């Protein structure tokens, strides 16, 4: 399977808040948006140097309350220590809350952050190894 790009799409309670938090915390930028497309509005966040992006959506006609679990994770691997520390500080400044990981594995080399909807992001200070 040849996957050109990965999009992670999640419903959120507040598009502006989620966009602001993730843009600041992960140094992302808006790369696309839509309003009232078949009842849905959304924003896509990413960067040209990434082969993935995040999409946050909202449906005003049928609003969803995000349903997340403590082990529903977006894990980002950042091997360079200074870059990892910088992004951890940015996540704090953006309003993410630090939480112990449900799975203690992620606390060994990472920090788990929770956004306003309860979604968890792990910044893992390691290189990904298959």
Helix 15-26 vs helix 81-94: angle between axes, to the nearest 10 degrees? 150
Rg (CA), the chain: 15
> What does pTM read for this prediction?
0.93
CATH 3.10.180.10 assigned to domain 73-124? The reply is: yes
Class of domain 6-59: alpha beta
Which part of the chain has CATH 3.10.180.10? Answer: 6-59, 73-124
Residue-wise pLDDT tens for the chain (130 aa)? 888 999 999 999 999 999 999 999 999 999 999 998 788 899 999 999 999 999 999 988 887 788 899 999 999 999 999 999 999 999 999 999 999 999 999 999 999 999 999 999 999 999 998 8
H helices present in the chain, as ranges = 15-26, 81-94, 105-109
């Amino acid at each position: 399977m040849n996957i050109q790009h990965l999009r992670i799409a999640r419903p959120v309670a507040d598009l502006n808040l989620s966009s602001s938090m993730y843009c600041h915390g992960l140094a992302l930028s808006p790369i696309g948006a839509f309003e009232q497309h078949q009842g849905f509005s959304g924003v896509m966040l990413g960067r040209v140097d990434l082969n993935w992006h995040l999409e946050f959506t909202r449906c005003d006609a049928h609003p969803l309350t995000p349903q997340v679990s403590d082990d529903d994770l977006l894990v980002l691997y950042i091997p360079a220590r200074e870059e990892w520390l910088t992004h951890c500080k940015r996540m704090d400044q953006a309003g993410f809350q630090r939480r112990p990981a449900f799975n203690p594995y992620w606390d060994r080399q990472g920090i788990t952050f929770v956004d306003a909807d309860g979604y968890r992001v792990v910044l893992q200070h390691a290189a990904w190894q298959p």
